[in-house]
Amino acid sequence: MPKAALYNAEGTQVGDLDLRDDVFGVPVKKSLLHQAVVRHLANQRRGTAATKKRGEVRGGGRKPWRQKGTGRARVGSIRSPLWRGGGIIFGPKPRNYLQSLPRKMRRLAVKSALSARAQAGDLVVIEDFRLEAPKTREVVRLLNALGIRERALFVTEAPDPLLERATRNLPEVRLAPAGQLNPYEILGADKVVLTKNALTRVGEVLADAEAPGSGY
């Protein structure tokens, strides 16, 4: 059974916590993780890049000079792709980069990413961490107490506006609710920090039984 270190809100280790085998102890499927990460990055693309072809560029309706007798190269339009200001050959056009992935594969990819982090010892669980005000120094104090100097992913049970504001100006810290985890964020962090309630919620969402409204 996989385990994770359990810390209190002061950053002191108070024991170890057993993790669910069906969520944090599944075989790591690298090919599925690759597919899920590629899908995530592709879905971030806006697909709005656009260029104009020869027929879409303004002007060029008249032949600039006669075909023969000038000593110059023959040309039919100043909007030829060979000319500056002309059309673009094989340029990008608006397109949809969205990729789909079956729900079970998405859930399994998240499980694989969490299992990989658990196997590497990069999962940290804290009993509870609540902010009375959006103070960045409180988050920094906790990270320093936990010995985290790298990129960290905070996983909370539900969206936390105060914590989100407190971590907004920490470029190495990302925040994600338990119901919106994705392999890209999990694998991109050096440490994954979960609250105890978030850990329970992750288990409920990713359990082998169907979880309606899980978002995965």
Mean pLDDT of all residues in 186-207 = 90
Task: Look over the chain and give the mean of its residue pLDDT values, rounded to a whole number.
Answer: 89
Main-chain dihedrals φ then ψ at residue 33, nearest 5 degrees: -60, -40
User: What pLDDT is recorded for position 208?
Assistant: 60
Q: Which domains does the chain have, with CATH numbers?
A: 3-45+98-206 (3.40.1370.10), 49-96 (no CATH)
Rounding to the nearest 10 degrees, give the CA dihedral for residues 171, 173, 184, 29: 140
Q: Which residue would you say has higher pLDDT here, 96 or 211?
A: 96
The pLDDT confidence band at residue 16, using thresholds 50, 70 and 90, is: confident
User: What pLDDT is recorded for position 17?
Assistant: 84
| pLDDT tens digits for range 106-131 | 999 999 999 999 999 889 999 888 88
* Residue 7 and residue 125 in contact, taking contact as beta carbons nearer than 8 Å: yes
Q: Which of 83, 76, 81 is nearest to 91 (CA)?
A: 81
Helices (H), 51-190: 103-119, 136-146, 161-166, 183-188
pLDDT of 49 strictly over 90: yes
> How far is residue 136's CA from residue 127's CA, in Å, rounded to a whole number?
19
pLDDT of 213 strictly over 70: no
Q: Which of 113, 122, 111, 119 is nearest to 206 (CA)?
A: 111
